[in-house]
Amino acid sequence: MTPPRDDMGTAVHLPRRPRRVVSLVPSLTEAVARTRPDVLVGATDWCTHPGDLDVTRVRGTKNPDRGAISRLRPDLVIANKEENRELDVTRLRAAGVPVWVTVVETLPQALASLDRLFTRALGGPVPDWLDEARALWAGPPPDVAATVAVPIWRDPWMVVGRSTFTGDLLRRAGLANAFAAHADRYPHMALERIDRPDVDVVLLPDEPYAFGERDGPEAFRTAPTRLVSGRLITWYGPSLLEAHAVLRELAGRY
């Protein structure tokens, strides 16, 4: 039988339907835990959903403990081109561990990638929540209601730039990314270029930098700010259901 190919086009040889899976991507950990909790045996320290997730932790997305992963004897490891290092994927494969790499820069890519993961890699049906998410986000994007900026770090300040899943998701909710035309995907940015009159609201997520009530909003004098769950603007999976409601509600304020 022809082996399935991941989002990178790499053939992933799976002698059987995976029964032991390690996820190195928080959003995909949530997706697998909700759909096939019986197969998930390992995840990163950053995998925070669902809240009662009880699996072996294998360190971070950028520094996974490859020895710990191998000891779990996984049938499949799930990774992402942006979130995980090519070096770790290469070394896991060299150790005989099958790795499925996802590529996600847009919402349509995310939906297609999730479909392929569950049907081709995990050998099951399309999850109900994925069909629901596809229906919710179907159709052309609404007219732009507001311009937003999304810092992801401070000292130095960094923002979401071009060609990102976050930017595409916001656009499909009616929110234009103020830095969508920047040459870089996550550019460093002077605070005064973020805090400006033509930015309707600055969205401050709780990851990767943990912006909070006392860490972030106080820096802005011109543009209003709103704290948001990073999960709702950077994760792809069951979070897409809640994200649709929250982001459309935000856009509807303008």
148 by Cβ neighbours in 10 Å (0-12 / 13-18 / 19+) ranks as buried
Residue 1 has pLDDT above 90, yes or no: no
Report CA-CA distances (Å) from 189 to 98, 105, 156: 39, 21, 8
- The one-letter amino acid code at 87 reads L
The per-residue pLDDT for range 184-209, each reduced to its tens digit, is 999 999 999 999 999 999 999 999 99
Going by C-beta distance under 8 Å and a sequence separation of 6 or more, which residues neighbour residue 155? none
Task: Please give the single-letter amino acid code of residue 245.
Answer: A
Please, where in the chain does CATH 3.40.50.1980 lie? 21-135, 146-251
Q: Quickly state the pLDDT bin for 160 (edges 50, 70, 90).
A: very high
Length of the chain: 254
Q: Span 163-178, mean pLDDT? A: 97
Q: What pLDDT was estimated at residue 126?
A: 97
> Is residue 219 within 8 Å of residue 202, measured between CB atoms?
no
97-104: average pLDDT: 97
Structure tokens at 201: 């609201």
Tens digits of per-residue pLDDT, 113-149? 999 999 999 999 999 999 999 999 998 899 999 999 9
* Confidence label for 210 from pLDDT (cuts 50, 70 and 90): very high
**Number of helices and strands in the chain (H, E):** 9, 11
Beta bridge partners of 188: 158
> In sequence order, what are the residues at sequence separation of 6 or more whose Cβ sits closer than 8 angstroms to the Cβ of residue 224?
200, 201, 202
Domain 21-135 has CATH 2.40.420.20: no
Angle between helices 128-136 and 107-116 (to 10 degrees): 160
d(C-alpha 207, C-alpha 230), whole Å:
5
What tokens does 29 get?
């950990």
User: Domain 146-251 sits in which CATH superfamily?
Assistant: Nitrogenase molybdenum iron protein domain (3.40.50.1980)
Q: Write down the pLDDT at residue 228.
A: 97
